[in-house]
Copies of this chain bind each other. A is one copy, B any other.
Amino acid sequence: MEKKVFLSEKDMPRAWYNIQADLPHPLPPPLNPATGEPITPDMLEAIFPMNLIEQEMSLSRSIPIPDEVLEQLLLWRPTPMYRATALEKRLGTPARIYYKNEGVSPAGSHKPNTSVAQAYYNKEAGIKRLTTETGAGQWGSALAFACNRFGLEIKVYMVRVSFDQKPYRRMMMETWGGTCVPSPSPDTSAGRGFLEADPDHSGSLGIAISEAIEDAVTSENTKYSLGSVLNHVLLHQSVIGLEARKQLESIGEYPDIIIGCAGGGSNFAGIAFPFIRDKIHGKDIRVIASEPTSCPTLTRGHYVYDFGDTAKTTPLLPMYSIGHGFIPAPIHAGGLRYHGMAPLVSRVFTDGLIEAKAYNQLETFAAGIAFARTEGFIPAPETNHAIACAIEEAKRAKEEGKERVILMNFSGHGIIDLPSYDAYLSGKLQDHVMPDEEIEKLLKELDEYPKPK
């Protein structure tokens, strides 16, 4: 048995998989918060190009990947799949653990799978410039990379506290020719408002979204781009699971359990949806979304209509949420600190097609260290949540004496996050579990809006 399971470039998937075609119950539409009526495509046109809006609403099962996008994806795709033999040995488990390494992309995570597609479609629509927001910078750097590929300008509004404390991803954006400013910035009226109230405002993702959207709707030839949550983003990530299925097939394997960490839901959906299709058609598998106890969207949130952002500028989305007013604890898995969950992931969760598990920060870092010291690669703090879950399932397989096949998404490497490992190893990290009353209070604000069916 070889260590890595490769897939040749010619076997790279030529089309994305759209789970909307197979859902047992259709996705409820996003709503206009002012009217309670479904959002129509033209309402989204101020911020997204029409070709992506069409993709967002498409019910086609298979959507061809344009050659220009494929050419970019081939820079790092198909990504290698590994058998985690050293980790299995450490655990003494009869389970066979496979992981898909999305950390090999130039930006170090799965995010470029959608950023190159979005940059391409915007360019096709005649757009010259994109704006976006970023927290720790994974998404901003992935979009800066993609805009460089297609000759688009980009401006990233980065939450000021991250901009100041975590400069590496800002430097990465600039190395690729992108512009990154701390948010709140003096460049938008929203930003100026916050700076007037407090010149040292540390910013928030909600404010950064407001700035990026304002910039997009008020600038020429400019659109806004989002790195998770939306249907088209999850669509673009389906290459992960499509490749994984081919790779496992090539060695005569099929997974019993599929695991991904879930923040907005895109890397989880990427690896899981092509297999959930099989489950919808009768296959007996378990699919697990792994999230932090400090932001327990699926495990403790409710299925509601909620805003995508804190500032309530987006349409109402049908999703599991702990409330848009949620202020996440400062855990190191920045990509998992989101109050909601992608509508498509929320839909398959409410339909019982997936499970969810929540893990404390300390146990995720213990899992990450165990992984680094067996498999060698240092995982991103987000990825550590998937690893914690895979380890738990591998131990369960041992207890039950079952030879299970576990497939996990290694969503990104942790090289830029090494200070979080340093904090863990020196005993400076702690767990942050959310009190129930807080969630109830945040969700109460949504009582006036309809509930998804």
Chain A interface residues toward B at CB < 8 A? 2-4, 6, 8-10, 71, 74-75, 82, 104, 106, 108, 145, 148-149, 167-168, 171-172, 174-177, 369, 372-373, 375-378, 415-416, 418-419, 421-422, 425
Inside 8 A of A148's CB, which chain B residues have their CB?
A: 373, 376
**In whole angstroms, what is the CA distance A422 to B166 when docked?**
13
**In whole angstroms, what is the CA distance A373 to B71 when docked?**
16
**In whole angstroms, what is the CA distance A176 to B86 when docked?**
14
Taking A106-B377, A373-B176, A415-B416 as contacts, is the C-beta distance between A171 and B3 under 8 angstroms? no
Taking A106-B377, A177-B373, A376-B145 as contacts, is the C-beta distance between A422 and B167 under 8 angstroms? yes
**In whole angstroms, what is the CA distance A9 to B71 when docked?**
24
Cβ distance A255 to chain B, nearest Cβ, rounded Å: 22
Inside 8 A of A416's CB, which chain B residues have their CB?
A: 415
CB pair B376–A415 under 8 Å, yes or no, is: no
Number of copies: 2
Closest partner residue, chain B, to A74 (CB atom): B3
CB pair B6–A2 under 8 Å, yes or no, is: no
Inside 8 A of A176's CB, which chain B residues have their CB?
A: 372-373
CB pair A172–B378 under 8 Å, yes or no, is: yes
Taking A2-B9, A4-B9 as contacts, is the C-beta distance between A175 and B415 under 8 angstroms? no
Give the contacting residue for A175; candidates B104, B171, B378; CB below 8 A.
B378
**In whole angstroms, what is the CA distance A377 to B373 when docked?**
26
**In whole angstroms, what is the CA distance A373 to B419 when docked?**
27
Cβ distance A46 to chain B, nearest Cβ, rounded Å: 30
CB pair A421–B174 under 8 Å, yes or no, is: yes
Give the contacting residue for A369; candidates B6, B8, B9, B175; CB below 8 A.
B175
CB pair B2–A10 under 8 Å, yes or no, is: yes
CB pair B373–A415 under 8 Å, yes or no, is: no
Closest partner residue, chain B, to A86 (CB atom): B149
Inside 8 A of A377's CB, which chain B residues have their CB?
A: 106
Taking A10-B2, A74-B3 as contacts, is the C-beta distance between A418 and B171 under 8 angstroms? yes
Cβ distance A451 to chain B, nearest Cβ, rounded Å: 44
Inside 8 A of A104's CB, which chain B residues have their CB?
A: 104
The 7 closest A-B pairs by CB, nearest first: A171-B418, A106-B376, A3-B74, A2-B9, A171-B422, A175-B421, A168-B418
Cβ distance A367 to chain B, nearest Cβ, rounded Å: 13
Give the contacting residue for A71; candidates B3, B375, B421; CB below 8 A.
B3
Inside 8 A of A375's CB, which chain B residues have their CB?
A: 75
**Can you offer 10 A-B residue contacts whose CB atoms are under 8 A?**
A3-B9, A3-B71, A6-B9, A145-B376, A149-B376, A167-B422, A168-B418, A171-B422, A174-B421, A175-B373
Other A-B pairs beyond A175-B372, A176-B372, A176-B373, 11, CB < 8 Å: A3-B9, A6-B8, A106-B378, A149-B376, A167-B418, A167-B422, A171-B418, A174-B422, A175-B425, A415-B415, A415-B416
Inside 8 A of A75's CB, which chain B residues have their CB?
A: 3, 82, 375-376
CB pair A171–B373 under 8 Å, yes or no, is: no
**In whole angstroms, what is the CA distance A106 to B378 when docked?**
7
Closest partner residue, chain B, to A104 (CB atom): B104
**In whole angstroms, what is the CA distance A151 to B46 when docked?**
58
**In whole angstroms, what is the CA distance A2 to B10 when docked?**
8
Cβ distance A425 to chain B, nearest Cβ, rounded Å: 6
**In whole angstroms, what is the CA distance A390 to B313 when docked?**
50
CB pair B373–A418 under 8 Å, yes or no, is: no
- Report which residue of A171, A378, A419 has the largest number of chain B beta carbons within 10 angstroms of its beta carbon: A171
Cβ distance A239 to chain B, nearest Cβ, rounded Å: 15
Inside 8 A of A145's CB, which chain B residues have their CB?
A: 376
Inside 8 A of A172's CB, which chain B residues have their CB?
A: 378, 415, 418
Give the contacting residue for A418; candidates B10, B74, B175; CB below 8 A.
B175
Inside 8 A of A3's CB, which chain B residues have their CB?
A: 9, 71, 74-75
